[in-house]
Amino acid sequence: RPSGRDDATQEQVSTAGTRDPQGREPAAPKAPQIDTAWRSVQASRSPNRPGLRDLLRHATHRVPLSGTGQGEADRTVVHALARFRGHPCIVFGHDRSTQHEENTMGPAALREARRSMALAQELHLPLVLVIDTVGAALSKEAEERGLAPEIARCIADLVTLNTPTISVLLGQGTGGGALALLPADRVLAATNAWLAPLPPEGASAIVYRDTDHAPELAAAQRISAADLHTDGIVDRIVEEHPDAAAEPHEFAHRMVTAIATELTALADRTPETLRRSRAARYRRLGLPATQSHPG
């Protein structure tokens, strides 16, 4: 004889698609959840994925800049004066082509970011920040040279700028080095971009003491562009068809067009309006929807 559980299962199957006693239509069966987060992580790590330099190729004018102004320079970042669709701006971001396990961004990269912020303010130009990093250096030297304080200073400088700011989540967004460039007036993201305080493998190692659960942790942390958009962190997703690595030129063109559109929308806002709106936005982030006025 089948067990009681088997009987219940058989009854559920036999009555599927029929009305309940009150005459209501049965709920549609739940579709299996697809782990888009982990697929995005894998896509973002493709060596053929377009990066910041591909976006700059779509600028009508560009003047490369370098260094902190105090003798420091970090090869993992790029900054420049550029013009996107007629909009002059300061561009700063991570260079995916120079980052690898033995060459990750250090404190000097963040000091260069702050130099770009100061330059944008001085020249009254919008600032475009591009996030695409495997993470900041994990070393004693990086900490001794002020990595953590530089992350904090970047965030403080960015939220108080008098000029329009746009943050572009282009690929990997790992750790404090990514978060330091995030709090802008508008945040754009590629379909397969993601953002997390540490990579899914790192989260898996902490929770499970292995990396086998990385896909599970990627979904649980809600790191994908779609989840970030739902949670109010990302304002707009720029599509990949189906992957930016398969159409680098077309994707870069779409992203630059999206950046130019946002620059147009922000152009007429006063410094006071920019600062006030920016502060209100990031104070509300993570609060319940009903709590619209933070204390």
CATH of the domain at 247: 3.90.226.10
Task: Give the Cα separation of 244 and 129 in Å (integer).
Answer: 19
Task: Give the Cα separation of 143 and 136 in Å (integer).
Answer: 10
User: What would the pLDDT profile of 225-251 be if each residue is shown by its tens digit?
Assistant: 999 999 999 999 999 999 999 999 999
**Position 36 in a domain:** no
Whose tokens are 């199957």? That residue is 13
Mean pLDDT score, 42-62:
95
Res 68: pLDDT: 63
**Position 287 in a domain:** no
**Position 179 in a domain:** yes
pLDDT mean across residues, the chain? 85
**Position 275 in a domain:** yes
**Position 60 in a domain:** yes
Residue 98 is given by DSSP the state G
Backbone φ and ψ of 131, nearest 5°: -100, 125
Res 69: pLDDT: 67
Res 29: pLDDT: 38
**Position 216 in a domain:** no
User: What would the pLDDT profile of 112-148 be if each residue is shown by its tens digit?
Assistant: 999 999 999 999 999 999 999 998 777 777 777 778 9
**Position 29 in a domain:** no
The answer to whether 214 touches 200, Cβ cutoff 8 Å, is yes
User: What would the pLDDT profile of 75-119 be if each residue is shown by its tens digit?
Assistant: 889 999 999 999 999 999 999 988 776 678 788 899 999 999 999
Which string of DSSP letters, residue by residue, matches 150-181? HHHHHHHHHHT-SS-EEEEEEEEEBHHHHHTT
The answer to whether 49 touches 172, Cβ cutoff 8 Å, is no
Number of domain units in the chain: 1
Q: Is the pLDDT of residue 30 over 60?
A: no
**Position 44 in a domain:** no
Backbone φ and ψ of 150, nearest 5°: -70, -35
Residue 260 structural domain: 54-195+233-281
Res 288: pLDDT: 74
